[in-house]
């Protein structure tokens, strides 16, 4: 067998001398990159093995990552991105004890044998996006106590075990966007006390009840492109969220206390069906960016604009604003700049709806008139 392999690689070299050039080392010997080579063709002298710190294997046309795939004991970064890998051997990475970053993006992996990461005590970043994961089993991440970054975006995840993420308590950034997630059990993220960034955009999430309650460190949360209809009160009350993206959902009313306005700096609510944003409790809020485009807003509470004194960018177009209320908003905030696209600046699209009233005094139960008037100009979401 061994003889055959050697013969095979010699033949490759003889017939096509450029094949070997597909594996390259940088002059400092630290980076080793291979494209189009099979795993058994990755060869280096024992001296070189010690020097290699970063390795990228692309387009390898292999279906399986075999046992101890790379004999580089000092390797810190490894990328195996072949499009074709389906199976990873339980001991594939056992000799890579100094590995800090493992990138298996763009393969066809749907699961791992339990314990596959057990020897990777130093691992900080794990990239698994663009694979075929449908479920995260309970012990998948056993051994990864130091992991701070995990990406599982662009998979087919729909199912969570409640304990899926229990073993990676140090995680700071978690990317679960572009999956098929519709339901998240309420305590799924509860052990992730260090989590700062969570991306759940492009899923099918309907409810976020009791999901974020104990996530004290969470700063950036992206829930855009889901099907959330309402926000529970106080779900974010313990977080210190700075950026919250809820755009492209099905929200209709934002109730008092459902947004963490004490800490939010950027709030994205565009492309929902919001007709009402209630708020009274907060005295001041540090909001800098607010996007309200493409909703059903007729007016904003006066307090909203007077208390958001840091507001720098407000996007309002494509709402059936009452013209009197809109004037009042402008008046309350002096020269707050509205970011309008050219068709609104040029007057091609109406920024507000004229009712036969003399002041901003909207009947919350009678908003349909406004929708009807503006419906002539745009398709009401
Ligand atoms: C080696 O790889 C690292 C990380 O990918 C890169 O930042 C660095 O510039 C590479 N070194 C050389 C000499 O190309
Ligand atoms: C996910 O959300 C985070 C935080 O909002 C954002 O910074 C990042 O660009 C998003 N990533 C992707 C892949 O959409
Ligand atoms: C949220 O994620 C979407 C898609 O992944 C991205 O386009 C958007 O920029 C993100 N929002 C923020 C505030 O980063
Ligand atoms: C309005 O603009 C003037 C300068 O043109 C500035 O001094 C003032 O602070 C601005 N007021 C607000 C509320 O932003
Ligand atoms: C204002 O308009 C409503 C219908 O939108 C109508 O019923 C009412 O009579 C009008 N009032 C005045 C003073 O024109």
Of 288, 340, 342, whose CA–CA distance to 319 is shortest? 340
CB-ligand 5 contact for 369 (6 Å cutoff): yes
Per residue in 116-132, pLDDT (tens digit) is 999 999 999 999 999 99
> How high is the pLDDT of residue 379?
54
Give domain status of residue 339, yes or no: yes
Q: Which residue puts its alpha carbon closest to atom 14 of ligand 1?
A: 26
Q: Distance between CA atoms of 201 and 199, rounded to whole angstroms?
A: 6
Give domain status of residue 162, yes or no: no
Distances (CA, A) of 122 to 13, 146, 166, 206: 37, 6, 18, 37
Give domain status of residue 125, yes or no: no
Ligand at shortest distance from the CA of 130: 2
Give domain status of residue 334, yes or no: yes
379 alpha carbon, distance to own chain's centre: 30
Tell me the average pLDDT across 246-260: 92
Q: Which residue puts its alpha carbon closest to atom 9 of ligand 2?
A: 199
Asked if 350 and 374 count as a contact pair (C-beta separation under 8 A), the reply is: yes
Tell me the average pLDDT across 63-81: 92
Stated as kind and residue range, the H or E segment containing 10 is helix 2-15
Q: Which residue puts its alpha carbon closest to atom 10 of ligand 4?
A: 335
Confidence of residue 78 (pLDDT cuts 50, 70, 90): very high
Per residue in 24-64, pLDDT (tens digit) is 889 899 999 999 888 887 777 777 888 999 999 999 889 99
Q: Distance between CA atoms of 214 and 363, rounded to whole angstroms?
A: 38
Q: Distance between CA atoms of 314 and 297, rounded to whole angstroms?
A: 14
- Phi/psi at 327 (5° precision): -60, -40
Name the pairing type of β-strands 220-222 and 253-254.
unpaired
Average confidence score pLDDT of the chain: 86
Look at 146 and 115; give whichever has higher pLDDT: 146
Ligand at shortest distance from the CA of 30: 1
Q: Distance between CA atoms of 246 and 275, rounded to whole angstroms?
A: 15
Task: Tell me how far the alpha carbon of residue 360 lies from the centroid of ligand 4, in angstroms.
Answer: 24
Q: Alpha helices, DSSP H only, in 266-377? A: 302-307, 323-332, 342-345, 368-375
Confidence of residue 376 (pLDDT cuts 50, 70, 90): low
Give domain status of residue 155, yes or no: no
Give domain status of residue 317, yes or no: yes
Name the pairing type of β-strands 101-103 and 125-127.
parallel
> How high is the pLDDT of residue 220?
98
Cα dihedral across residues 16, 22, 26, 29: positive or negative: negative
Expressed in angstroms, the distance from the first to the final Cα of the chain is 66
Q: Distance between CA atoms of 225 and 199, rounded to whole angstroms?
A: 11
Look at 166 and 243; give whichever has higher pLDDT: 243
Residue partners of 52: CB distance under 8 A and separation at least 6: 25, 29, 30, 31, 32, 44, 72, 74, 75
> How high is the pLDDT of residue 243?
98
What are the contacts of 34-43 at 24+ separation with CB within 8 A? 34/58, 34/60, 35/59, 36/60, 36/61, 38/62, 39/65, 39/66, 39/69, 40/5, 40/9, 41/9, 41/12, 42/70
- Phi/psi at 359 (5° precision): -145, 170
Give domain status of residue 375, yes or no: yes
Asked if 105 and 84 count as a contact pair (C-beta separation under 8 A), the reply is: no
Name the pairing type of β-strands 173-175 and 149-151.
parallel
| For the ranges 168-177, 204-213, 326-335, 339-348, the one whose mean pLDDT is highest | 168-177
Asked if 184 and 159 count as a contact pair (C-beta separation under 8 A), the reply is: no
Question: With 50 as the cut, is the pLDDT of residue 17 above it?
Answer: no
Task: Tell me how far the alpha carbon of residue 198 lies from the centroid of ligand 3, in angstroms.
Answer: 11
Give domain status of residue 336, yes or no: yes
Task: Tell me how far the alpha carbon of residue 269 lies from the centroid of ligand 1, in angstroms.
Answer: 40
Stated as kind and residue range, the H or E segment containing 11 is helix 2-15
Q: Distance between CA atoms of 239 and 255, rounded to whole angstroms?
A: 18
Asked if 295 and 274 count as a contact pair (C-beta separation under 8 A), the reply is: yes
Query: HSE on the CB side for 98, CA within 13 Å?
Result: 13
| For the ranges 133-147, 160-174, 200-214, the one whose mean pLDDT is highest | 200-214
Stated as kind and residue range, the H or E segment containing 49 is helix 46-51
Of 280, 286, 239, whose CA–CA distance to 261 is shortest? 286
- Phi/psi at 296 (5° precision): -120, 35
- Ligand 4 binding pocket (C-beta < 6 A) is 334-335
Structural domain of 377: 301-381
Confidence of residue 9 (pLDDT cuts 50, 70, 90): very low
Look at 5 and 296; give whichever has higher pLDDT: 296
Q: What is the count of structural domains for the chain?
A: 1
> How high is the pLDDT of residue 21?
46
Q: The whole model's pTM is what? A: 0.87
Of 181, 248, 269, 204, whose CA–CA distance to 258 is shortest? 269
Q: Distance between CA atoms of 219 and 87, rounded to whole angstroms?
A: 36
CB-ligand 3 contact for 243 (6 Å cutoff): yes
CB-ligand 3 contact for 271 (6 Å cutoff): no
């Amino acid at each position: 067998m061994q003889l055959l392999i050697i013969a095979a690689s010699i033949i490759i070299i003889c017939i096509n001398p450029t094949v070997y050039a597909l594996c390259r080392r940088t002059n400092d010997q630290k980076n080793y990159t291979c494209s189009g080579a099979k795993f058994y063709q990755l060869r280096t002298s024992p001296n070189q093995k010690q020097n290699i710190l970063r390795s990228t294997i692309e387009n390898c046309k292999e279906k399986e990552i075999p046992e101890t795939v790379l004999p580089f004991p000092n390797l810190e970064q490894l990328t195996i991105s072949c499009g074709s890998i389906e199976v990873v051997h339980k001991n594939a990475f056992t000799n890579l004890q100094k590995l800090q970053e493992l990138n298996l993006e763009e393969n066809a992996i749907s699961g791992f044998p339990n314990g596959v990461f057990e020897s990777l005590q130093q691992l900080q970043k794990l990239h698994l996006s663009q694979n075929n994961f449908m479920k995260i089993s309970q012990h998948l991440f056993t051994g990864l106590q130091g992991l701070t970054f995990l990406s599982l975006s662009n998979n087919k995840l729909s199912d969570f075990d409640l304990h899926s993420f229990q073993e990676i308590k140090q995680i700071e950034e978690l990317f679960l966007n572009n999956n098929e997630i519709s339901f998240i059990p309420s305590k799924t993220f509860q052990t992730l006390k260090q989590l700062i960034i969570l991306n759940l955009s492009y899923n099918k999430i309907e409810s976020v009840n009791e999901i974020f309650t104990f996530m004290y460190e969470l700063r950036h949360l992206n829930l855009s492109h889901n099907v959330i209809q309402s926000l529970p009160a106080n779900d974010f009350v313990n977080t210190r969220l700075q950026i919250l993206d809820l755009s492209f959902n099905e929200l209709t009313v934002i109730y008092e206390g459902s947004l963490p306005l004490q800490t939010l700096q950027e709030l994205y609510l565009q492309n929902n069906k919001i007709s009402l944003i209630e708020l009274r409790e907060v005295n001041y809020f540090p909001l800098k960016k607010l996007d309200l485009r493409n909703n059903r807003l007729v007016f904003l509470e006066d307090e909203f604009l007077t208390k958001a004194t840091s507001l720098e960018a407000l996007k309002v177009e494509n709402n059936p604003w009452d013209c009197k209320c809109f004037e009042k908003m402008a008046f309350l905030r002096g020269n707050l700049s509205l970011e309008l696209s050219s068709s609104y600046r040029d007057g091609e699209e109406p920024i507000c709806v004229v009712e036969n009233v003399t002041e901003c005094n909207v009947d919350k139960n009678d908003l349909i008139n406004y929708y009807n008037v503006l419906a002539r100009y745009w398709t009401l979401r």
